[in-house]
Amino acid sequence: MIGILIPAHNEEDLLGQCLTAALRASKHGLLAGEPVEVLVVLDSCTDRSAQIVSDFPVLSLHIDARNVGQARAAGAQVLLERGARWISCSDADSRVADDWLVAQLGLGADAVCGTVTVEHWDQSFNESAQIRYHRHYQARDGHRHIHGANLGVSADAYRWAGGFPPLACDEDVQLVRNLELSGADIAWSHRPQVHTSARLDSRARGGFGDYLRHLVQIDQKKADQIDL
């Protein structure tokens, strides 16, 4: 069985699109009928996220941690107990490609770190900031980006690495670092495709949204200096 793990904290706006895409990926013909279970970890949700999840044929787990590392770890444990041989992680504000699972598994690695494509830029993210982002982002094989929105790991490798640490941010980065220390074979690939949002009101401090906001702030400071 393959498990898809999606943590969510107040994601009512984008969660439906996320689950629709995940379920499409779970039915890809090249999976040869292997069962795929989608698990949403609802962490301290006070919006309609739980109601939205109930409308889809997916599993849910409710926790009250307000901590993405704990949410991913709790979800991974459930999937492992249900017999998952591979865990594919994404985020509730992201949409995976139809062949996302096939692409991850097809690399034949212990773990896969994929890239993300920003789908719709926030209005405050001006052209200068977008250029700065694309200049530094390596959308190619051999990149060194780590995204919880596009990460896959075998059950064995996950256990060897000790699982997701209970961190409020960079739990994905620490897992990958521990995978490297354990000698796992990691594929740094652009092949598994995930579209993610460019929102600046990130759910996890220090995550991708905060990185984007930092780029916007850099350009704003430059504009202020020019005005002076």
What are the residue ranges spanned by the domains of the chain? 2-118+139-194
What is d(CA 195, CA 166) in angstroms, rounded to the nearest whole number?
26
For the entire predicted model, the pTM comes to 0.88
What is d(CA 89, CA 151) in angstroms, rounded to the nearest whole number?
5
Q: In 10 A of CB 108, how many CB atoms?
A: 8
Give me 45's structure tokens.
Answer: 């949700």
What is d(CA 71, CA 99) in angstroms, rounded to the nearest whole number?
25
pLDDT tens digit sequence for 95-153: 999 999 999 999 999 999 999 998 777 666 677 777 778 788 899 999 999 999 999 99
Rounded (10°) angle between helices 208-227 and 127-136? 130
Give me 192's structure tokens.
Answer: 């598994």
pLDDT confidence of residue 222: 44
pLDDT tens digit sequence for 29-51: 999 999 999 999 999 999 999 99
Architecture of domain 2-118+139-194: Alpha-Beta Complex (3.90)
Hey, which residues does 96 pair with through a beta bridge? 194
73: three-class secondary structure by DSSP: helix
